[in-house]
Amino acid sequence: MGLMMALEIESGATLEEVAQTLTDLGACVKDIPHIHGGLLPGSKCGYGLILHRYPMRVLAKGMKVNWTVGLTMTFHFRASNKMSRMAEIYPFIELFAEQHPHRFVLSFEYERVYAVRDEKGLDLRWPFSA
């Protein structure tokens, strides 16, 4: 069974910024303005990117924020590998937060929030369950 994590990034974030973070983690990202997905570096965790034409509200359950989503990045993996894939997703989240000022929410299938980047900084919600 496949699972999905959703990273909802505020309006103003660009594919180039995501590509920069992926590249700095060792990914080979080509055709930057048109990237749609790939694999995290050294991983079997796939990702997809959607640049929204119109800003959207944050879909993660329970999140009430005063900003809109301009870019959604999804991470896809098998249920049996959830813990190891989360360990591969978090370095991307941490580096993206360090490199770029955008607010974001990382959730498990929009149901449970695992990380929030807001005005106060990055809040990684540990521990997560297998």
> Whole-model pTM above 0.75?
yes
Structure tokens at 104: 């974001």
Spatial contact of 81 and 2, defined as CB atoms under 8 Å apart = no
> Residue 57 is part of which domain span?
2-124
Where residue 85 sits, what CATH number does that domain have? 3.30.70
Q: What is the pLDDT along the chain (130 residues), one digit of tens a residue?
A: 688 999 999 999 999 999 899 889 887 776 665 566 777 777 778 888 999 999 999 999 999 999 999 999 999 988 777 777 788 888 999 999 999 999 999 999 999 999 999 999 999 986 554 4
* 118-125 long-range Cβ contacts below 8 angstroms, 24+ apart: 118/65, 121/97, 122/93, 122/94, 122/97, 124/90, 124/93, 124/94
Domain count, the chain: 1
- Residue holding tokens 């990117």? 49
| Residue 116 belongs to some domain of the structure | yes
| Residue 40 belongs to some domain of the structure | yes
